[in-house]
């Protein structure tokens, strides 16, 4: 919790991201550092921060090269911020963009810093390739060898097959299943139909198209490498087109497809956070305040359907601490990793019996669907893992700023059976 008598209010006063690009399209040659630096430079230009010494910049990437010891600091050094601005990397799978915001917000709330930037970036195209463990072990043994003969002996064990590179896998180490395979189990467990998933996905694309058409993102996105808009958006999609797609994870009895699952995506996003005093002194209007945040985890190795359901716990803890109900909000942003995962969480919250499986006495309530992901979410924009949190927080902050008042509820699920929820208020 950020909000109590000992802490200061934390304001979101700025945001920027680059357009999100489907894997292997516009950003194939751009690495994490390139994209995050571009997002930061866009933020710095928009809010005239050149030469400013900030309290800290925190960002992260889920798929990271081991040579990038502190990627965020390297990015900061390639911007016009004062070079004395410190920076750090944080990683918590798809929660990363939320966790970096919580980290900066807590430092502001505690009075340790006045202003900072949070962010996240991921490339699914330009990924580090590693050589497998057998070759690594041979080379390390050769390096430890004391004599030329020993070194030769070690190196003689090398085989052609050892040189086959391995790309990062979208797999849970504890189960060997991908996120999509886990969510397929979730969809079956909770009886989430293919038709409902496709209808939910269609709405995401329609809402994102409408948001672009009304200029909502004009001051939120800076063009990058020739791209001006998220290129995963399908304006021409339809229920008919979505219904023709084949199952992606369970080929025989599956309901998850490429159309109702978020695609592998490249992109970066960042947020400018500050104390009220700093915002006022620098003439920045407050878009929204981060008032509560909660991170949770769930067991998913035994109960494989649980992988992306941890936000149920995070939401319960956060609502209790904030003394609010699930139905108290003007807007809801729930990260669309898969249509099935959002629909499962909504179903759990609506059902007393399902809430009891999580240890709660009563249902959380029914969210007004007209207030949910009103501008499209990850199914339409794409999901560059660490960049999604910043996108969602920025969208909610601007929605509340446009309205002039209100409360927003955010929920993000993450690999490793984790989740995060946040309340923004204005």
Residue 383 among the catalytic residues: yes
Inter-residue contact 74 to 68 (CB < 8 Å) = yes
* 290 sits in which H/E element: strand 288-297
Which position among 75, 270, 355, 413 bears the catalytic label?
413
Which position among 3, 182, 205, 383 bears the catalytic label?
383
Inter-residue contact 260 to 338 (CB < 8 Å) = yes
User: From the CA atom positions of the chain, what is the Rg in Å?
Assistant: 22
Inter-residue contact 294 to 321 (CB < 8 Å) = yes
Question: How many Å apart are CA 30 and CA 39, to the nearest integer?
Answer: 13
Question: How many Å apart are CA 322 and CA 315, to the nearest integer?
Answer: 10
* 138 sits in which H/E element: helix 133-144
CA nearest neighbour of 314 among 98, 118, 7:
98
**CA dihedral over 13, 19, 21, 26, signed as positive or negative:** negative
Inter-residue contact 185 to 304 (CB < 8 Å) = yes
Question: How many Å apart are CA 8 and CA 112, to the nearest integer?
Answer: 11
Which position among 75, 94, 270, 355 bears the catalytic label?
94
Question: How many Å apart are CA 260 and CA 144, to the nearest integer?
Answer: 51
**Tokens read off for 302:** 């035994």
Residue 355 among the catalytic residues: no
The residues that are catalytic are: 94, 383, 413
């Amino acid at each position: 919790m950020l909000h109590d008598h000992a802490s200061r209010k934390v304001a979101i006063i700025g945001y920027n991201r680059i357009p999100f690009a489907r894997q292997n399209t516009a950003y194939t040659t751009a690495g994490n550092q390139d994209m995050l630096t571009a997002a930061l430079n866009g933020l710095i230009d928009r809010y005239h921060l050149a030469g400013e010494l900030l309290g800290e910049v925190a960002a992260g990437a889920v798929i990271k090269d081991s040579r990038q010891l502190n990627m965020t600091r390297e990015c900061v050094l390639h911007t016009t911020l004062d070079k004395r601005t410190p920076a750090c990397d944080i990683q918590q799978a798809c929660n990363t963009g939320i966790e970096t915001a919580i980290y900066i917000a807590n430092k502001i709330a505690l009075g340790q810093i006045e202003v900072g930037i949070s962010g996240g970036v991921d490339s699914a195209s330009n990924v580090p390739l590693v050589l497998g463990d057998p070759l690594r072990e041979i080379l390390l043994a050769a390096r430890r060898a004391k004599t030329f003969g020993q070194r030769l002996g070690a190196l003689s064990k090398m085989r052609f097959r050892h040189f086959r590179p391995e790309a990062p896998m979208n797999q849970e180490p504890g189960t060997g299943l991908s996120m999509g395979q886990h969510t397929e189990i979730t969809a079956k467990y909770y009886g989430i139909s293919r038709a409902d998933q496709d209808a939910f996905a269609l709405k995401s694309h329609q809402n994102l198209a409408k948001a672009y058409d009304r200029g909502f993102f004009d001051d939120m996105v800076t063009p990058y490498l020739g791209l001006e808009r998220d290129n995963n958006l399908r304006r021409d999609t339809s229920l008919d087109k979505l219904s023709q797609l084949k199952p992606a994870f369970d080929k025989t009895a599956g309901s998850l497809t490429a159309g109702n699952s978020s695609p592998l995506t490249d992109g970066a996003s960042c947020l400018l956070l500050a104390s009220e005093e700093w915002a006022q002194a620098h003439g920045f209007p407050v878009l929204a305040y981060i008032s509560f945040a909660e991170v949770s985890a769930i067991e998913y190795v035994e109960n494989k359907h649980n992988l992306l359901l941890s936000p149920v716990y995070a939401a319960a803890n956060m609502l209790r601490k904030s003394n609010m109900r699930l139905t108290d909000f003007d807007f809801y942003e729930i990260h669309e990793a898969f249509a099935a995962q959002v629909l499962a969480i909504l179903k759990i919250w609506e059902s007393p019996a399902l809430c009891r499986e999580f240890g709660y006495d009563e249902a959380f309530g029914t969210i007004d669907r007209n207030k949910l992901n009103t501008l499209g979410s990850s199914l339409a924009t794409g999901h560059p893992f660490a960049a999604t949190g910043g996108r969602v927080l920025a969208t909610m902050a601007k929605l509340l700023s446009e309205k002039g008042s209100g409360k927003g509820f955010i929920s993000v699920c993450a690999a490793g059976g984790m989740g995060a929820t946040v309340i923004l208020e204005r």
